Every structure is written in C-alpha cells, then in structure tokens.
Amino acid sequence: MKVAGCERAYVDGSFVTSKALPGDYDVCYETVGMTRAKLDPALTSFANGRAAQKAKFFGEFFPAHSPATLAPRPIYLEFFQQVKYSNRKKGIVALDLRRLE
C-alpha cells in the first residue's frame, strides 16, 4: 500500500484486542493520493468474501471512506471504531505508512 502512495492505514479486528490468540485483523486505508494500479491485485478483489485478500495477507482490506456493508456506520473508518452489536465507540490502531521503512 505504501508503494501505491497510501499514507495512513487503520488496523482493527481481534489483533488489536487483549486476546492471547487473535483470530483476525482488518485494515481500512486512506486512498487520497494513491495510484490504485500500484496496489497488489488481491487488495482490490472483494470477490468470494475477499478470499484473495485472506489467502495472501490473512486479513481483509477496505478503502477507509467506502460505504461499509451490513454496518450501522456509513464508512469503514467509522465502522471499525464501533463495538460490534452496540453503539459504543472503541479505539483502533492508526499506522502512518510514510514513517515505515
């Protein structure tokens, strides 16, 4: 994602909880300034429940400002910050990809 120009990504899922053995992680990422053609094709495939993403990266990836499906929040960035099945807010991890080597 960094090669494509992504500057910030947000991590969610049981990876960012206190679970001893997290089962998954989800990422939503900022698309402003990105060149979509430079993204790994698996990251842009949402077919079969995002099977290509899960097979290659063991997680799921969504554009941060895209409408979240089956969610009470309108975009993924907001959906990631809500406790499942409630209106309570929660934290997520923000990654500044510009600082990663």
Q: Average the pLDDT over 28-43 and give the result.
A: 95
Res. 73: pLDDT tops 80: no
Helix or strand run (H / E) with residue 79: helix 76-80
Q: What pLDDT shows up at residue 20?
A: 85
The answer to whether residue 40 sits within a structural domain is yes
The answer to whether residue 82 sits within a structural domain is yes
Using CA atoms, how far residue 41 sits from 15, 35, 69, 71, in Å, is 24, 12, 21, 25
Q: What pLDDT shows up at residue 9?
A: 97
Q: What is the mean pLDDT of the chain?
A: 90
Could you tell me the pLDDT band of residue 10, with boundaries at 50, 70 and 90?
Answer: very high
| Domain range for 23 | 8-99
Res. 41: pLDDT tops 90: yes
Res. 27: pLDDT tops 70: yes
The answer to whether residue 2 sits within a structural domain is no
43-46 contacts: CB < 8 A, separation 24 or more? 43/1
The answer to whether residue 81 sits within a structural domain is yes
